[in-house]
Amino acid sequence: MSLYLVRWPWLTASIVSARNEDDLRDILDEVADIEGVTWSVYRGPLWVDFHVPAKVRIEEKKKGVPLRPDEIVIDDLKALEAGKFELDMPEYSEHTAEMCELITKKAFPNLHKVLFGDNDDVILADNLSLVLILDAPCESKKTSGPEKSPFRGSQAREVSN
């Protein structure tokens, strides 16, 4: 299985595992129309936390002693019963910072320039809305050569740090 960095035609990127590009198309088509979607092989850092959506309370009876099952109280299982798991990532980790930088660089290049210091344009740095518009799909954008727009076509390119 390969990991693919998927750029949707709105301001969203996903990392999806698939056997090959045909499998990826099938997977993506399960959730949305894939017209305008682009992807590339992703070989960068990855860290995703998978949270069981339940409220847990610890009612510790004795400090310094391993917890017993009767000291763990589980509340509010509605989200779990609906099958709604929560995905997250550590807020303070060099690994996740590298992941976010690489994904931003490939999926949202103008935003990357502002957030990660590759841009001397003060006007853009002061106007994140304009930067996001520049990274949004637009029919009037024309590109040529190997640096194709991230919103056009579906050519696979390797992404690595």
CA distance 111 to 119: 9
Per-residue pLDDT tens digits for 64-83: 888 888 888 998 888 888 88
Q: Whole-prediction pTM value?
A: 0.69
Per-residue pLDDT tens digits for 42-71: 999 999 998 888 888 888 888 888 888 888
